Amino acid sequence: MNQIVMMPRRAGKTTMAKHQQALIDALKADGWKLDRFGHFQKDVTRVKNRESGETVTKRMRVKMQATSCRIEVQGKVNGQNEWFRVGGAYYSELILLPDGRVRVGTYFVGAKKDPNCKGTEL
């Protein structure tokens, strides 16, 4: 006869959920908007040429998945809009910086507030 062993459930949020919530909070504080699929999108303006001051605006998306997130940028391929991955990380690998930003792989999410701060892991 087989015996069924019941494993106890964890109380409270798991570490992954805490990391995911920290990323969501940083995105919302920086003005990212939730779309109908549960991902965050924003038009991000970057300096294209520092000497001339020319800027470029691109549509970016943070795709929230079960155990990880992906950072994607929208581009045109054969006249159609497509999303291209530029970064991403597992939620357990996210690093919360004291200036309010979150490092997702090699990409930083959020607005930098204090240039003299040092990062800590979540």
Instruction: Give residue 33's pLDDT.
Output: 94
Cα 78 to Cα 121: distance, rounded to the nearest angstrom: 41
Candidates 67, 44, 40; CA nearest to 55 is 44
> Nearest Cα to 30, choosing from 101, 97, 87?
101
Q: What is the pLDDT of residues 25-84, one digit of tens each?
A: 888 988 999 999 999 999 988 887 778 888 888 999 999 998 999 999 999 999 899 999
Separation CA 90–CA 73 (nearest Å): 19
Each residue's pLDDT tens digit, 113-122: 655 655 544 4
In the chain, the amino acid numbered 4 is I
* Alpha carbon distance 5, 56 (integer Å): 58
